[in-house]
Amino acid sequence: MKYTKTALFLLAFSLSVHAQKGKNDKKIKPREEFVTELMGKMTIDEKIGQLVQFTADGTITGPKSGNNFIDEIKKGNVGSILNATGVEYTRKLQKLNMDNSRLKIPLLFGYDVIHGYRTIFPITLGEAASWDLKAAELSARIAAEEAAASGVHWTFAPMVDISRDPRWGRVSEGSGEDTYLGSKLAFARVRGFQGNDLMSLQTILACTKHFAAYGAAEAGRDYNTVDMSERVLRETYLPPFKATVDAGVRTFMTSFNEISGVPSTGSKFLVNGVLKTEWNFDGFVVTDYTGINEMVPHGYAKDNQHAGELALTAGVDMDMVGGVYLKNLKKSLDEGKVTMAQIDDACRRILEAKYDLGLFHDPYRYNDEKREKATITKKEYLDAALDIANKSMVLLKNDNNVLPLKKDQKVAFVGPLISDEWNIIGSWAATGDRYGFAVSLQEGVNNLIKDKSKVSFEKGVEILKDDRSMMAKAIESARNADVIVAVMGEFENMTGEAASRTNIDLPGIQKEFLAELKKLNKPIVLVLLNGRPLTLTWENDNMDAILEAWWPGTMGGDAIAQTLYGVSNPSGKLPMTFPRNVGQVPLYYNHKNTGRPYLGKSDPEQKYKSRYIDVDNSPLYPFGYGLSYTTFSYSNLKLSSDKINFTDKLKISVEVANTGNYDGEEVVQLYIQDKVGTVTRPVRELKGFEKIALKKGEKKTVEFEISADDLRFYNIDMDFVAEPGDFEVFVGGSSATEMNNKFVLVR
């Protein structure tokens, strides 16, 4: 049966959690008593060993370490192993540890499970376009179930970095530009990975990353510097991290960047200050890959020993791959540069996480071959991946209702990604199968269209190669069609870590090929497979329809085909602004005004305003934007009062009607503007959204409720408060909506 309801899946999971406990779990003492007693038996070397993570010989996600991790495991010098997956391999390493280490403290196995483990969902940015919190929780839940069944205890997700710069490759891993949406999705994903009970064999540790403000790297260049005011840090970049603490996340990862001159891995302010003291975070903190070592080239530490001292003092509990703690921490302790209390605190936090996973009850409880085989890529998982991929599609343009396609039309599918199985599941795709398992668009179309004479497939060009030898054949195929569908985009490794770009146009000669197709005077649909917002001004001017499919995952080909042919009505909304050109970057909807704001072309005096002389200030596609095959109208925006005090609730309602010819879903969005403050406020801020389903001709009233708490910000004195004054409310289908009303907040 086709999976359609994420809520039913999550309910079924919650009911089955307690039935999935390890059968061989032994009864041991309560956590605090057990860990305290264990630490009393540990030597200083064994305690430091718990703070050490090395990488196995699986997936490499950074510079290779020179350490022989096998020898270090035998010596009891390792607390965690990165990039070891599969029941057979993780059992082998765990047995090596348990047979050789004195106290037999289980290893913790970590792996980058970002948007799926074997069943791959849309990239995180694409999933964010669904604006569906239950879908985000479900995809994380399925990823956790598959990873846990394969011997993995810990994922390095969710990535909650807010970013306004599409040049930065890692936008693909996050939820886009908005703090409110990003916080809601971050909370949902932690709940998906961790569930309500870490002792369940269907859950794994989540890890919030990258702490903090990594998405604000200067020039969109990976690993680069970040410099911002504390107000911007706290209002824009920290709230999604706090949301994960509220969700109960058990681990955090520091970021590669510095903030205002201090690398995050050595920041007392961030780790011990904000995270562990202000937010009372009781889990443990791990560096990113060799993050401690990198404080030396940063110019913040004179050598690795000094870097380790700075990291531990800042509150970093585990050293990922760098080997700094293992090699230097005991010497630093002897020299009085760090304290035993600091080492004990880090060790305790890590041991508590292992206890909560049940590893002290049974170190092999995640190593069940039958469970692994029965769990990976279950039918309901693949159905869920298809459903969520459909929800992630964003229709950017649809002139003359070119879409949906009709099955009796002759359609020429062209472009470098029509039969692709490798790139379609995207970057950071864990152990996802590509060739032979992932569904290409060609396969998806063939699954849907029985009359094969109605479809043709010719690549025409490659993504990067300057090769025109296939173009003529593809153009001839297109000439004989009623509609052309061009499937274009990026290689999966063109977005992601270490994949920043200054040119975010369609790469290679893809645009040249589109220009040749345009000469045929046929309707052209452009389908995009990519991991970031692209600059599409020419495409928007020349294509009849544009569908942003992102990298949609294992079932992506079926999802694209179903969307193109109207089996699924696109409902996605952009989680990140698409600029007209890269010169506008950074570009985001909730910017500040200026003393000389540009009011648009209707402004009679334009020269001495905050504007460009060669392009409009506005984006090509704004945050929150996305079309449907049907149309929606908004009316009757009402506020329960035009004045509220600090204890009142303001109710906001609007009527939304499906005025088109198809059933569809709409994301109703609520924005607020604080008109005057002791510090200036953004022109709009997202404060609520609701995704609703409306049948053709149906009308619904959507209600929101806000209070003074939703209007707080860091004022001139850095107090987090709401200030009395005038506010404007905007409700509609994107951040560019003009429907508004007003109210006043009074004391």
CA 68 to chain centre: 33
Intra-chain end-to-end CA distance of the chain, in Å: 56
The pairs formed by 377-382 with CB atoms below 8 angstroms and a separation of 24 or more are: 377/118, 377/119, 377/146, 377/437, 377/554, 378/119, 380/3, 380/9, 381/119, 381/142, 381/145, 381/146, 382/119, 382/554, 382/555
368 labelled catalytic: no
- Distance from C-alpha of 454 to C-alpha of 443, rounded to nearest angstrom: 14
Q: Which has the closest alpha carbon to 629: 392, 389, 400, 383?
A: 400
SS3 for 594-606 is CCCECCCCCCCCC
Look-up of token digits 């001495």: 608
Residue 73, SS3?
Answer: helix
Helix, strand or coil, per DSSP, at residue 481: coil
Burial class (CB in 10 A: 0-12, 13-18, 19+), 618: middle
Cα(245)–Cα(17) distance, integer angstroms: 22
- What is the DSSP-derived secondary structure letter of residue 67? S
The one-letter code for the residue type at 503 is N
Q: Among residues 288, 368, 387, 558, which one is catalytic?
A: 288
CB distance 71 to 100 below 8 Å: no
Sign of the Cα torsion 732, 734, 738, 740 reads positive
Query: How many CA atoms within 13 Å lie on the side-chain side of 673?
Result: 22
| DSSP-assigned letters across all residues of 643-701 | EE-TT-EEEEEEEEEE-SSS-EEEEEEEEEEE---SS--BS-EEEEEEEEEE-TT-EEE
Residues designated catalytic: 288
